[in-house]
Structure 1
Amino acid sequence: MADLKTLLLNRDTEVAEVFESAKERLSFYRSEIHFESTLLASRTSSYLSSQSFLMIAFASSMANTNPEWGSLFRLVVPSLLAALGLITSLHAVPGIRASYDVIERWHRKQAELLQTEGSAALLSNHQSALFGEGDNPAGGERYKRTLLFSLRTPIIFGSVWALLGAFCIVLYVVGVD
């Protein structure tokens, strides 16, 4: 474990030597944060789009009123759609979590840089406005609150799909038409 820590420390030191100044490192960190945030937004948007289509298909299939096979149809198709929604939710979590972790790592590196190099030396007057009142650029973690939507969305949809799937089965067992 100590070897891994040494390897990571050496790698970070080598990366620090690539940049000519701390300001370049800060700019690089911010571009990486921006890239990962865009990637996270894209993943979240794609996930929400897929869930929207599944939800529409689920609602449409539950509205089937065919007297001959409607009851069985309302059991099979919506249950399969609910299972698909639950599976896609479970598969979305690792990718969204990975993006969150990378963003958190870059924010931590940025905070360390600002703490060691001094934020006043790195930031011009107009750049310091990026950190709102009450934010501490060297350790503020408000960004985590903004990322919670992306982290929680698959959990919420997964829970809803589990409830809707159970609801379909209960309706079939009770025999509600």
Structure 2
Amino acid sequence: MPDLKTLLLNQDTQGAEVFDSPKERLNFYRSEIHFESTLLASRTSGYLSSQSFLMIAFASSMANTNPDWGSLFRLVVPSVLALLGLLTSLHAIPGIRASFDVIERWHRKQAELLQTEGNVGLLPNHDSALFGEGNSPPGGKRYKRTLLFSLRTPIIFGAVWALLGAFCIVLYFFG
């Protein structure tokens, strides 16, 4: 009986018999990349939509000019919205990061396949990889640059929410 380390090392190669050809395996990897990229785009879109609604509510609550309870309202409601925005940003990071890691793993597997079976992704009489990294060196990481928006957005919004929350408190006590 093989040990656990051997099983883990062979985990990625055990599926080789599932595919009839390297081309089928490449198509599978690319469909997984497409699926995960769509999932990441959906998560990012949902996150941005929630942040835009929170930002509108924040701006509207800061515009309250009621002379009786407006200043207290401008402290409590925007501060709570800023805290909610910060919390949703912190909770969005793991899901977006997980999608990024899965996409990165599939790209790595695709690059390994293209290195070992270099001709599976090539068009006949052509030098660039079909749907691949084009003329970039093997193992190119251009796809990472396209995913940075999704990775950085929750961090940027989290920082903005922290600043806006602090602004509410400073404005209430010193304004």
1:135: how far off? Answer: 1.7
Residue identity over aligned pairs, in percent, reads 80
Alignment correspondent of 2:30: 30
**Which is further off, 138-147 or 49-58?**
138-147
**Counterpart amino acid of residue 19 in structure 2:** F
| Higher normalized helix content (fraction of residues) | 1
Moved more, 15-24 or 28-37: 15-24
Structure 1 CA distance, aligned partners of 2:48 and 2:5? Answer: 38
Query: 1:164 is paired with a residue of what secondary structure?
Result: helix
The letter for the 1-side match of 2:131 is L
Equivalent pair of 1:64/1:73 in contact (CA under 8 Å): yes
Partners of 1:11 and 1:139 lie apart in 2 by: 21
Looking at structure 2, the residues matched to 79 and 98 of structure 1 have their Cα atoms a distance apart, in angstroms, of: 30
**2:160 alignment partner in structure 1:** 160
Which letter maps to 1:123?
L
1:108/1:132 CA distance change after superposition, 3 Å: closer
Quote the Cα distance in structure 1 between the aligned partners of 2:108 and 2:81: 40
> What is the total number of aligned residue pairs between the two structures?
171
What residue is the counterpart of 1:170 in the other structure? 170
* In 2, Cα distance between equivalents of 1:51 and 1:43: 12
Q: Scaled by the length of structure 1, what TM-score is found?
A: 0.91
Are the counterparts in 1 of residues 121 and 129 from structure 2 also a CA contact under 8 Å?
A: no
Q: Is the contact between residue 22 and residue 122 of structure 1 (CA under 8 Å) also seen in structure 2?
A: no
Q: Aligned residue for 2:103?
A: 103
* CA–CA separation in structure 1 for the residues paired with 2:34 and 2:63: 43
**Unmatched tracts of structure 1, length 5 or more:** none
Distance 2:155 2:72 in 1: 29
Offset, 1:121: 4.0
Aligned-residue offset at 1:123: 2.2
- Which amino acid in 2 is paired with 1:33? I
Letter in 2 for 1:86: L
Mean Cα displacement is larger for which, 50-59 or 12-21?
Answer: 12-21
Structure 1 residues 95-128: Cα deviation after superposition (integer angstroms, max 9, x where no partner): 000000000000000000000111x344224773
Q: Equivalent residue of 1:112, what SS? A: helix
Q: What is the RMSD computed on CA atoms of the aligned residues?
A: 1.6
Return structure 1 stretches of 4+ with deviation > 2 angstroms: 3-10, 120-123, 125-134
Q: Which residue of 2 aligns with 1:86?
A: 86
Distance 2:79 2:5 in 1: 48
- Residues 62 and 78, structure 2, Cα contact 8 Å, conserved in 1: yes
Letter in 1 for 2:18: V
> 1:130 matched to which residue of 2?
131
Question: What letter corresponds to residue 30 of structure 1 in structure 2?
Answer: R
The structural deviation recorded for 1:14 is 1.4
Q: Partners of 2:4 and 2:54 in 1: how far apart? A: 44
Separation (CA, whole Å) in 1 of partners of 2:5 and 2:100: 22
TM-score normalized by structure 2?
A: 0.92
Q: Is the 8 A contact 1:37 1:103 kept in 2?
A: yes
Distance in 2, matches of 1:37 and 1:78, equals 34
| 3-state SS of paired residue (1:173) | helix
